[in-house]
Structure 1
Amino acid sequence: MFTTHPAAVAALTAMSAIGAGDRDAWLACYAPDAVLHDPVGGSPLDPHGAGLRGRAALERFWELTVAPSQVRFEVAAVHPAGAEAAVVASVSARFATGARVGYDGVFVYRVDDDGRIVSLRAYWDLSRVLSALAG
């Protein structure tokens, strides 16, 4: 999908880095004080739903959720506006345990003036992923 909108470029680059398992490329997409709500509303890594803030938190997120899995995004649409882009995508994930899950989500990325992600708000069904991991 071709786009020149800074938020859309950052979003698609970050998603591509996840699919490639490229931690350094993914981290390079983010500003040092970025906030990650993945998913919005909280998770075992973010029990209060305040978001994961800063480089160390992003690195921990990668190590605990992305590194032990294979994640692929099938992007259906990208809606850029202002400093943000909303990405509608289907996600498929295979975990180190062999568990697999698929879900749809909306991922809202906000970038700074340098085109680095300052905020990701991901909307998807956490219970579906937790059920797959438990089962």
Structure 2
Amino acid sequence: MTNDDHPARVAGRASQAAVRAKDKDAWVALFALDGIVEDPVGPSFFDPDGKGHRGAEAIGAFWDKAIAATDQIEFLFDDSFACGSEVVYTGRIRTTMSGQLIDAEGVFTYKVDDDGKILALRAFWETERAMATIRPL
């Protein structure tokens, strides 16, 4: 296995491609049955209880709240590190929505099972810092 074909890295790239393509069904299908999305980790306007979105129905509902309304999402990662069954990306995610840009700088992790399905997508970014980057296109 080369660094490029590490299962978590493959799943992470597939997740990012589905988001860029605005393909909800393809994105949800990448997750294990008990997969979870925590974006961001902890309580947020997407997840007031901070427990994450577990299972296909909840992950699909997260898509509807967080991704569907965007015009474009770019993954501007500086680096990635694959270890064990996980990969971590560092950098930022840039969202275009309603004529504005917002950057969420942070650390983004994907953990996969033995079949390469995503068990956990966790995004560590601070809402206040991201909101401070809002600017017109």
Instruction: Tell me the TM-score normalized by structure 1.
Output: 0.88
Aligned mates of 1:75, 1:98 — CA distance in 2 = 23
Please tell me whether the aligned partners of residues 102 and 131 of structure 2 are also in contact (alpha carbons under 8 angstroms).
no
Cα deviation, residue 129, structure 1 = 4.2
Cα deviation, residue 130, structure 1 = 4.8
Greater than 6 Å deviation, 4+ residue runs: none
Aligned length: 131
Structure 2, gaps ≥5 residues long: none
Aligned mates of 2:23, 2:129 — CA distance in 1 = 25
Structure 2 residue corresponding to 1:91, chosen from 93, 101, 105? 93
Please tell me whether the aligned partners of residues 80 and 86 of structure 1 are also in contact (alpha carbons under 8 angstroms).
yes
Partner of 2:122: 121
Cα deviation, residue 44, structure 1 = 1.6
What's the Cα RMSD here? 1.8
Structure 2 residue corresponding to 1:78, chosen from 67, 76, 80? 80
Aligned-residue sequence identity (percent) comes to 37
Aligned mates of 1:36, 1:126 — CA distance in 2 = 16
Partner of 2:39: 38
- Report which of the two has the higher share of helix: 1
Aligned mates of 1:78, 1:12 — CA distance in 2 = 11
Deviations along 1:67-117, whole A, 9 cap, x unmatched?
Answer: 11021102221100001110113211112x333211322111110110000
1:100 match: secondary structure? strand
Partner of 2:20: 19
Cα deviation, residue 58, structure 1 = 0.7
Structure 1, gaps ≥5 residues long: none
Partner amino acid, structure 1, of 2:109: V
1:107 match: secondary structure? strand
Counterpart mapping for 1:99-110 below 5 A: 99-110=100-111
Deviations along 1:14-64, whole A, 9 cap, x unmatched?
Answer: 012111211122112111211111001221221121111111111111111
